Structure 1
Amino acid sequence: MTSAVSPPHAYAKAVAKLYMNPGKRRLRSIQPSSQEMANVAGVLRMWRMLPKEAVMKAFEAGNFAGVEEMKANDRLFERVAPLGVNDILMAVQYDHRPRPPLPVPLLALQGAQDATMEPHIMREWAGYTSAVFRYESVPGDHYFVAHRAEDTAANVARVCLDALEGKSLQPALGGQLSDALWAVLAALCVLLALLMAVVRN
């Protein structure tokens, strides 16, 4: 399952380009150099020593959701900033190496009010599976998972149960699953059941 994040190659490249060209929302036509990205990573590793305004500029350049909310709320900033910094670090250090698609179903979820990414970019996840791919727009914004955890878990459980029944893997494997894949899918279903129980309580 993916949610509100573009495929790794698209996400990492977009964040790196936006971060390396602060103040401009258009992507540069060239990939930032390895040295530029290493410099950015070096600065961001020391983010706790930077003023909040400098970190917020990096988030704005990276087109992160929730920037205005973090500017107005120091407690929210303290909670979200480590995640945002790690997101940028991942992006500027990411080295995409194409691999064959996986023979597992893939569900991509996106909040209908999430303006951080176009739906056609989310649909690029289809290239990462040789099984069934589903894209769904769900109520909410970039953080829909936090506000609709039970609905999200139910969507993922549905895909896992379909896979266990062989429905979602028909195009890739003709319904034939290896013992290892069955074990993984069964474990995912158990984890989702536990998550749904926790969310309800």
Structure 2
Amino acid sequence: MSGAGSWFDQRFRSPTARHSLYCFPFAGGSASYYADWAAYVDGSVELVPVQLPGRGARMTEPLATSLDAVADEVAGLIAAAPTVPLLFGHSMGAILAFETARRLRAWGRGVGYLFVSGRPAPPVVRPLRPVSSLPLPEFVGVLRDYGCIDEEILAHDELLDLLLPMMRSDFSLIERYRYRPGAPLDCPILAWCGDRDPEVPPEAMRGWGDETCSGFELRVRPGGHFFVTEHREEVAQAVRHAARRGTTGERDATV
């Protein structure tokens, strides 16, 4: 089992933090995607991007084969930390954050907030059809449609060959995920989606409200699947404000 130094980007830790914002990556993403968020949080909320095996400093490690195993290990590390955990995940990361929150609740370790974006509620199966084993041209087309990889990389054969195994592995993780009914979380959930994301319409996001017995809020913003890139300042600031004010007390609201 790897330690916190492997799973978490430690660069943004703060000795004065009362909350730790753990950010889980989308399929094909890495901890570096969230580095810019450090500018939008303060000393009371430290940024802790989560790094999965097979990317960044963990490039040489075997790729994850089980979403549940990842959630088990990350939850165990978070449970041992002294700060209040806040969990954020985009797309695949939303499911990872959700399953991590479930484990922490089961272990009696409180989660301050769950923030999710760009992924329908956990009972909804995504993607609509398996894509991880598609032939290369079709799989590259899927990556292009999702917008989860730069065109410069798609045009660079050596970089693409390096990244493809990780991309296929991540899509396989989420394809094999199946929701297991359970008790709702006792932390609030704040959700976002883009208004032009064909895979994640707002009505598919509303089901996240069924996964908590605390407050739920949905915010729809302009953009496609990766709307969060353009709106990262707003999202990061909303996380900070939510941590300060506690539960919204609202069961369902769209802003």
TM-score by length of 2: 0.43
Give the root-mean-square deviation of aligned CA atoms: 3.6
Decide which structure has greater helix share: 1
> Is the CA contact 1:7–1:125 (under 8 Å) kept in the aligned structure 2?
yes
Deviation of residue 83 (structure 1)?
6.1
Distance in 2 (CA, whole Å) between partners of 1:158 and 1:144 is 20
Question: Which residue of the other structure, out of 12, 15, 18, is the alignment partner of 2:129?
Answer: 18
- Structure 1's unaligned 5+ residue stretches are 21-39, 45-49, 172-201
Identity of aligned pairs, percent?
A: 23
Aligned to 1:5: 119
Distance in 2 (CA, whole Å) between partners of 1:156 and 1:107 is 9
Distance in 1 (CA, whole Å) between partners of 2:117 and 2:166 is 16
Question: Which residue of the other structure, out of 198, 204, 211, is the alignment partner of 1:121?
Answer: 204
The worse-fitting range, judged by mean Cα deviation, of 132-141 and 77-86 is 77-86
Alignment of 1:40-119 (within 5 A): 44=133, 52-56=136-140, 59=142, 65-66=146-147, 70=151, 73-75=154-156, 78=160, 81=164, 84-119=167-202
Distance in 2 (CA, whole Å) between partners of 1:71 and 1:100 is 44
> Is the CA contact 1:9–1:96 (under 8 Å) kept in the aligned structure 2?
yes
For residues 26-80 of structure 1, give each alpha carbon's deviation from its aligned partner in whole angstroms, at most 9, with x where no partner exists: xxxxxxxxxxxxxx7xxx4xxxxx96314236x37xx952289759942598397
Distance in 2 (CA, whole Å) between partners of 1:82 and 1:7 is 27
AA matched with 1:114: D
Count of residues paired in the alignment? 135
Distance in 1 (CA, whole Å) between partners of 2:227 and 2:164 is 19
Q: Name the SS of the counterpart of 2:129 in structure 1.
A: helix
> Is the CA contact 2:216–2:250 (under 8 Å) kept in the aligned structure 1?
no
- Structure 2's unaligned 5+ residue stretches are 1-114
Decide which structure has greater strand share: 2
Aligned to 1:136: 219
Higher relative contact order (CA 8 A, sep 6+): 1
> Is the CA contact 1:103–1:169 (under 8 Å) kept in the aligned structure 2?
no
Deviation of residue 100 (structure 1)?
0.6
AA matched with 1:95: R
1:87/1:75 Cα in 2 relative to 1: closer, same or farther (>3 Å)?
Answer: same
Aligned to 1:188: none
TM-score by length of 1: 0.53
> Is the CA contact 1:56–1:67 (under 8 Å) kept in the aligned structure 2?
no
Which is greater in Rg?
Answer: 1
Q: Name the SS of the counterpart of 1:19 in structure 2.
A: coil
1:170/1:141 Cα in 2 relative to 1: closer, same or farther (>3 Å)?
Answer: closer
